[in-house]
Chains A and B, each alone.
Chain A
């Protein structure tokens, strides 16, 4: 196991369905992702990007091959270990998945409370700080229903980043954002990579991100067909 890489994948195969309906979604993927980098996965719909993202992110059971996340093998990982590992990750979903009954600040605090390491006041300050960095200082007490799509997405990003995760997994995180907000988010992720060594793996088609990525992985029909670094 190569523990110097936050993510190390070797001979990964994955199927969906059973019996005659069984269909292979990932074919023999092998790759290592360096710490502090911004890796982008691209490919047509159904190419296996999201499946690979969820396998790396400990959200789906590894069926065949090896996925080492932060030094822990995910093949056959126990549920309690998977839960502990997920606390060291940040997830940004395209559909934001905010809790509708919680304010923006409370949603972000949920990302901190899972660690139960700080008091409520410190949590609130940290949550307010990251929301302010993302331009939502005047929306702390707003419920998601009263926020625009872009604002909701920024709250979801703040929630994912609040606890300084070791790895961030994101699915089209800038789809709902305007140019400036998207640039701000990418800059924040890049800065976290440089300062804290946070590794980001992202599925996106946003050309504004592609040109700033450290590495672009291209998937087609479940196969890794290209592994490039932008010029």
Chain B
């Protein structure tokens, strides 16, 4: 909700006009902001004041937005649901593929390939699908973040940490789907080939 300062003061009567919410201190070049903040906390007796470095304040705000604010919680659930839907869709794709090629897997068994080798094929396929799914997802997300950053001037960007964590998550989700899909291999009976 975006309101004028007058409406804000009406809604929150405890707040006074002109009282700052944040005071930005600039440290001398070469000084460590974290050490300065720690020293200030020791000096200032008013414990209602929170003295933090810029980075600490940013991290705390990010955590607040992600875990306390409704939008953050909704987005968090969105991520969980997205991962679950991804696992289910990938499982369906893999499971249908295994069912379509059951006679080929049974042939592998008849030829003397180990069960581990056959499991490896399904996992390999799951990982390939996971990687191929990540590439367009990463491209679209990067484009959206860039567009939103340009439109809102907010510091939105696809960080390398974010990309790596999503990639690892995709691989883990793909591996889980693969693990579920391997249960279908039990139906690959080489005796049925004749």
A contact residues around B111 at 8 Å (CB): 86-87, 91, 110-111, 114, 159
* Interface hits, A87-108 → B, CB 8 Å: 87-89, 91, 93-95, 97, 99-100
User: Interface digits, B110-121 against A, CB 8 Å rule (1 contact, 0 not)?
Assistant: 111111000000
Closest to B111 in A: A114
Q: Which residues does chain A contribute within 8 Å of B80, judged by CB atoms?
A: none
- Please report the C-alpha to C-alpha distance between residue A110 and residue B113 in the assembled complex, in whole angstroms: 9
Q: Are B194 and A83 in contact (CB under 8 A)?
A: no
Interface size of A in residues (CB-CB distance below 8 Å): 28
Min C-beta distance of B44 to chain A, whole Å: 70
B113 cross-chain contacts in A, Cβ below 8 A: 83, 114
Interfacial chain A residues near B191, Cβ < 8 Å: 54, 59-60
Contact call B193/A87, Cβ cutoff below 8 A: no
B72 at the interface (CB under 8 A from A): no
Contact with B along A34-70 (1 / 0, CB 8 A): 0000000000000000100110010110000000000
Do B112 and A94 have beta carbons less than 8 Å apart? no
Chain A residues with Cβ under 8 A from B112's Cβ?
83-89, 114
| A99-B104, A99-B107, A100-B104 known; A93-B193 Cβ under 8 A | yes
Q: Are B104 and A79 in contact (CB under 8 A)?
A: no
Task: Tell me the complex Cα distance, A53–B190, Å.
Answer: 12
A171 at the interface (CB under 8 A from B): yes
CA distance A147 to B76 in the complex (A): 53
Q: Inside 8 A of A84's CB, which chain B residues have their CB?
A: 112
Could you tell me if A95 and B193 are in contact, using CB atoms closer than 8 angstroms? Answer: yes
CA distance in complex: A60, B107 (Å) = 14
B23-35 toward A: CB 8 Å interface, digit per residue (1/0)?
Answer: 0000000000000
- Which residue of B104, B108, B114, B190 contacts A59 across the interface (Cβ within 8 Å)? B190
The answer to whether B103 has its CB under 8 Å from any CB of chain A is: yes
Question: Can you name 17 A-B residue pairings with CB atoms under 8 Å?
Answer: A54-B194, A59-B191, A59-B194, A60-B191, A79-B115, A80-B114, A86-B112, A87-B112, A88-B112, A89-B112, A91-B110, A91-B190, A93-B107, A95-B103, A97-B193, A114-B113, A171-B194
B interface residues with partner A (beta carbon < 8 Å): 103-104, 106-115, 190-191, 193-194
Extra contacts, 17 of them, besides A86-B112, A94-B194, A97-B107 (Cβ < 8 A), are A57-B110, A59-B193, A59-B194, A83-B113, A83-B115, A91-B111, A93-B193, A95-B103, A95-B193, A97-B103, A97-B104, A97-B106, A97-B193, A114-B111, A114-B113, A159-B111, A203-B194
